[in-house]
Structure 1
Amino acid sequence: MNSKPGLPELSALAAIVLHRSFRKAADDLGLSPSTLSHMMRTLERGMGVRLLNRTTRSVAPTEAGERLVARLRPLLSDIDAALAEVDDFRGLASGTLRINTSEIGARLLLGSVVPSFLQRYPQVSLDLVTEGKLVDIVAEGFDAGIRLGEAVPRDMVAVRFGGPTRFIAVASPAYLAGRPAPHTPDDLGDQACIRFRLPSGKPYRWEFEKHGQEIAIDVQGALTLDSMELMAEAAACGMGVAYISDKTAKPYLDQGSLVTVLDDWCPPIPGLFLYYPGHRLVPPALRAFIDVLKETKG
């Protein structure tokens, strides 16, 4: 290494790798793309190694750049959190709060927590990312994540919100009018099931429980979707039985376009949790968000 890089250059590199774009990274950092490009050329020249592969349309890290940024992310996040704690002395929460969540979690937050939070803390920008897949929130630069309790890593601090939830089997009255309703999970073999595809590409196995008996079924059906909202719509149109969250199903159940089946096989589960790493400084914006979450949770 010919010269030691500074924090601004390393932060800029991390932003470029995160956004895969000079323009988006420049907007995030409040710089011009040309200034950012010059910083990267200076950084690469000083370190004596290429960190980014550039084309006219895209930018991607080299292997050296990817490894460097992977090590930098948690360090830069800790620095940001340490600097942000100074705001505590002014009683302010500010900056950008990035949360990775499921679509269901985002909808629940938008219905109660987010409006109160943004009104109370106007200096904070909230970035909700609903990728669907589970990610390493530390490695991907998120302040927190939101998932069902069973999916929260054991080394994280978790805050439950939204109350218990259920995954339920539903179908339209029109669909059930033409065939016997299922009474046990085994009866699903005779039904047209609307399957759910996980972000990994694998089909989701429907999980049922009654009196301590647990059953997981890889149902069969001609239709597979990757959105519970679409599954609810398809079921309401009479296309089969869907297995979705009760929060997704609620408006359809309320208007009568869907009814539940196998209800006694679908017990409540703990529900959603916001989680974050416990071994790192908690940014003031995240602490403020958790406070609002606790005030409004079910």
Structure 2
Amino acid sequence: MKKQGGFTLVELVIVIVVTGIIAAIFAMQFGPSLQHYLAVGRRANLTHLADTALRRMVTEIRTAVPNSLRLLPMPSAKLSCLEMVPTSDGGRFRTGPDTQWDTANPATPSEPLDLRAPDAVFDVLTAFDNAPKAGDWVVIGNQNTADVYEGSDRAAIASIGSPPATGSSNKPLGQSRITLGAAKQFPYAYEGGRFNIVPDSLQAVTYMCKDAGVDAEGTGTGTLTRIAHYGFNASQACPVAGGTSAVVATKVRSCNFVYNPDQGATQQSGFAQLQLTLADHGEIVTLTVGAQVENLP
């Protein structure tokens, strides 16, 4: 009878023990390197998330309606809100009539914006990069933060058309002509000749940091959320109710928003400082950015 080959139980035990020893050696040698690799990956991901969120905030802050930034009252340390009114475009409006054209064409006169009385039609002298639509908002001369939210210097657009061309030279009276939904008297003392366009799809926008903290595993528990299209409210509370929400950052350990509207000798430029701290399994990343805020209407 042919003898069968194989392993004895003792040989099998010896192989298992030797394999375990080799595996332990590899774990001791490569374990820290693997943990370091995972930690670097977490920090890189947190840095990317924080940088993307803060860049988005800074972009909207720099294009917001002058004097529209405000920090909303905070009911708790784990909740903070920064509100603004972002713009999509702007330009200059006609401040006085084109007398030469008006004399020759009394049936189709130029349309300056009259700041002395309610007015509903005006010529735009500059071209749009992002043309407004019916329902969007015109803001003119926002000197005080509450004004744009209360509506004293804000009016809805009914239509955007073209002014007539000026005779043989084909020189336009303006690039476009805006008709408002209702006659509006904008601030009489304003002399800048500029206006801002606020998309109705956005209206006021708030960045809300909620439930900031850290759990037992060292991961942030909070979220940074962008809330838009909830209207314009003279008195706005934090947290913001309604509107459309989009999460900008997760794993938030802490947020710190600071806004000073009176930076600079002329008090026409503010400064916002934004700090965002994210955490993931004990890895912590803190980014701080500053943004100059142009408050000259």
Q: Fold match, TM over 0.5?
A: no
> Which structure shows the bigger proportion of residues in strand conformation?
2
TM-score computed with the length of structure 2 as normaliser: 0.27
Q: For the pair shown, which has the larger CA radius of gyration, 1 or 2? A: 2
TM-score computed with the length of structure 1 as normaliser: 0.27
